[in-house]
Amino acid sequence: MAKEFIFRGLNTEQIKKLSLKEFAALLPARQRRTIERGFTEAEKTLLKRIAAGDKEIKTHCRDMIVLPSMIGLMLKIHNGKEFPLIKIEEDMIGHRLGEFTATRKKIMHSAPGIGATRSSASLSVR
C-alpha cells in the first residue's frame, strides 16, 4: 500500500480545493511573498496554458513555484540548453521548477596526459 502524501496536514485532494491565497498561507515566507506579489507575465501565460489543458508545455520559468494545479502534468523546463521532460508530482509542491532540472552536467575526466602532473613525468614515453 502506497503512503498517502500529506502537505502541512492536508492531503492532495484538500490542497487542490484551496484558493491560491489559502495555499500561499501554507508555504514558507519566500514562496508566500512571491505568490502574494503576483506572477510575472511569463508565469501568467504558463498558468493559462496549464488551465487550457495543453499537452506539451515548454517553459523558461524556472523560478515558478509548483502549484497544486500542476500535479500530474508533464512539463518541459529549460535548463540552459534543452528542455528535459519533468513529471510534476505531489512532493514537489512549494518548490521551484528550476530545482528539478540540472543546469550543469557531471564532468568525467579520463587519465591525465603525459606532462600533466608530477606523477606522470616518471612514466616512460613510448
101 Cβ partners below 8 Å, 6+ apart?
Answer: 62, 77, 78, 79, 84, 86
- Residue 120 covered by a domain: no
Domain count, the chain: 1
- Answer yes or no: is 108 within a domain: no
| Position 107 in a domain | no
Residue 107 pLDDT: 85
Confirm whether 33 is domain-assigned: yes
* pLDDT for res 11: 86
Query: Per-residue pLDDT tens for 64-123?
Result: 999 999 999 999 999 999 999 999 999 999 999 999 999 998 888 777 666 666 665 565
The answer, yes or no, to whether residue 61 has pLDDT greater than 90, is yes
Predicted local distance difference test score (pLDDT) of residue 8? 85
- For residues 16 and 68, what is the distance between their CA atoms, to the nearest angstrom? 5
pTM for the full model? Answer: 0.77
Full domain range(s) for residue 19: 6-101
Residue 113 in any domain: the answer is: no
Long-range contacts at 101-104 (CB < 8 A, ≥ 24 apart): 101/62, 101/77, 103/79
Specify if 67 maps to a domain: yes
Q: What is the CATH number of the domain that holds 79?
A: 3.30.860.10
pLDDT of the residue at 96 = 94
Query: Is residue 41 a part of any domain in this protein?
Result: yes
Is 1 inside a domain boundary? no
